[in-house]
Structure 1
Amino acid sequence: MTTITNRTVDYPADNLTMIGHLALPAGDERRPAVLIGPEGMGLSDVERRRADALAELGYVALAFDLHGGRYLEDPEEMLARCMPLLADPDRMRGIGRAALDVLRAEPRTDLNQIAAVGYGTGGAVALELGRDGIDLRAIGTVNALTTGRPGEAARIRCPVWAGVGSEDPIMSPSQRDAFSAEMQAAGVDWRLTVYGGALHGFHHPTVDHTVVPGVGYHPRHAQRAWRDIVALLAECLPVTD
C-alpha cells in the first residue's frame, strides 16, 4: 500500500473555524486534487477515510468541514443548521470556496486538476461551486440532487455525476426530475445513477445515534457508489506516474 500522510487543517468559513482533514499521497510532485464534502451531520471518520483512500490512489484530498469541528448527532440540530444553509447558495459557496482555498494553498496540488465530490449537504456545496463558475474538472455527488438559481447551472464547466437511492424520500423522483431538467437545459455533461432499493444516506455506514426516517445503509450500493466516484475521477483527473 502506498504510504500517505495526513493532517488536520484549520481555516475560517461561515463565521466558524473549520477543521478539515488533508491527505497527501507519497512523493513530492504535484498531483490532481479532490475536495470531499460530508453529509449534513458533518465531517466524520467516514469522509476522513475516503480522503485517505483517494490519497492512496495518488490524489491530494481535503475532506472539508461544515460545522466548525462539530458532528451533529441530533437530527433536529442538524436540520436546524442545514436547512437554512441549503436554502442559501451564497453561504454554501462560501464554505466551498474556503475549503478550495486550503486545497489550492497546498504545494502538492495541481491547480489545473481539481474536482469536488460530496455527500448530502457536502454534495450540494460541490454543485454550488460548479454553478458559481469555479474551474473544476469533475463534480460528483451522492444524495444531493439539489437545484440552483435559474440559469446558473450553465456556468458548470465539467462533467457532473450524481448518485441517488431509488427509495430515497428526501431526494424524491420529482427532485430527480428537476435536477435532470436543470442539468440538461444548461447543456451540462451529466449522468444520474439510481441505486435500486437504496434509501437516503445509503453510502454511510450505520451510526449508533438517532437518524431521520428514510435513511439507511446499503453496503453493496455503498461500494458501487464509491467505485463510480473513483471511475469519474479516473476519467476526468487521471493520475499519471
Structure 2
Amino acid sequence: MSEKSGSGIRVQKTWNGEFYLPGGNANGRAAIVLHEAPGVTQNVRRRSKDLADLGYVVFAPFIHNQIAQLSNEDSHTAVKYFRENPLQLRQKVILSLEYLCEKFSLNSRQVAVIGYCFGGMAALELARSGVSVAGIASFHGLLDTLLPSSINDIKTPLLICTGAKDAFVSQNDVINFWQEMHAAGADWRLIVFGNASHSFTNLTAHEFEDERLRYDEQSDVMSWENLKEFLRYCFEN
C-alpha cells in the first residue's frame, strides 16, 4: 500500500515495515528507524518523515513481525525476551539492513541506523555485532547488555541520547556503558539531558499510562538537532 504526504513524501506500507521515500530531494542515503517496544508508533513515523524530508530513504521495520502494535503486557514480554537473547535481536536488525540495501541497491555504509526506546537498545546491539554502517544513534534506549563489546568490535560512529531522569537507565548503567565503549575503542558520544525521562522524544508518551515515561520538548528538539549534526559527521567523513 502506498500513500503520499503533504510534503510529497511517499509512504509505502509492506508486510515487514514502512518505507518513507523523499519527494524529490533524495540525497542517496538511507536510514533505518527502529521502533519502540509496542511497534511502529506515531513517534517513529514522525521522525521517519522528518528524515525523508532531509532526503533519506527511510525504512521502519516491524521487529516484532506484525503490523499492529503490541499491548503493554506483550511489549514487556518482547523486551524481556530480546534482553535475554541479544544475538536474536542483532540478527533481526541485520536482516532489516540487508533487505533495505538489496531493495535500493545500497551498501551498508550508505545507511544510518536510529532507534527509539526498545529500538535504541536494538541499535546498540547492532553496533556491538560489528556490522559497519554510516552511523548508529540511540534515543532513550537501554544501555546494558548480556554481550558487551570487546576491543575493535564497534566499527561505526555512535550517538547516544539519554535522560538523567530515565528510570530504566541507572547511573551505573551509564558508567558501565562508558567503560565498555572506552575499552572497545569506539567512536562515540553520549549526551545526557538533565530534565529528560524515558521516552522523552515521544509526544504521546503519556498514553502509555506509565508515570516513568514523559515527553520533554526541549530535550526532544535539542536531540533532533544533535542527530542531524551527527549524520552530517557520519556521511561527510
**Which residue of structure 1 lines up, in the alignment, with residue 83 of structure 2?**
86
Separation in 2, partners of 1:210, 1:60:
29
Separation in 2, partners of 1:150, 1:130:
10
**Residue deviations 1:1-28, cap 9 Å, x none?**
96322201223xxxxxxxx111122349
The answer to whether structure 1 residue 36 and structure 2 residue 41 are counterparts is no
Deviation at 1:78, TM superposition (A): 1.4
| Structure 2 gap ranges (5+) | 1-5
Q: TM-score, with normalisation over the residues of structure 1?
A: 0.86
Separation in 1, partners of 2:207, 2:88:
28
Whether the 8 Å contact between 2:206 and 2:213 is mirrored in structure 1 is no
Write the letter of the residue equivalent to 1:165: G
Candidates 123, 132, 153, aligned match of 2:120: 123
Whether the 8 Å contact between 1:35 and 1:62 is mirrored in structure 2 is yes
**Which residue of structure 1 lines up, in the alignment, with residue 3 of structure 2?**
none
- 3-state DSSP class of the match of 1:106? helix
Does 1 or 2 have the higher relative contact order (CA < 8 Å, sep 6+)?
Answer: 1
- Could you say which structure has the higher strand fraction? 1
Write the letter of the residue equivalent to 1:178: N
**Residue deviations 1:17-57, cap 9 Å, x none?**
xxx11112234977111111111121112212211211110
Whether the 8 Å contact between 1:114 and 1:237 is mirrored in structure 2 is no
Separation in 2, partners of 1:196, 1:208:
19
Separation in 1, partners of 2:26, 2:76:
41
| Structure 1 gap ranges (5+) | 12-19
Deviation at 1:209, TM superposition (A): 3.6
Separation in 2, partners of 1:216, 1:137:
30
The answer to whether structure 1 residue 137 and structure 2 residue 134 are counterparts is yes
Question: Percent identity over the alignment?
Answer: 28
- 3-state DSSP class of the match of 1:157? coil
- 3-state DSSP class of the match of 2:110? strand
The structure-2 alpha-carbon separation of the partners of 1:138 and 1:111, relative to structure 1 and needing over 3 Å to count, comes to closer
Q: CA RMSD in A?
A: 2.2
Q: TM-score, with normalisation over the residues of structure 2?
A: 0.88
> How many matched pairs?
229
- Could you say which structure has the higher helix fraction? 2
**Which residue of structure 2 lines up, in the alignment, with residue 21 of structure 1?**
18
The structure-2 alpha-carbon separation of the partners of 1:230 and 1:153, relative to structure 1 and needing over 3 Å to count, comes to farther
The answer to whether structure 1 residue 154 and structure 2 residue 152 are counterparts is yes
Separation in 2, partners of 1:145, 1:24:
29
- 3-state DSSP class of the match of 1:100? helix
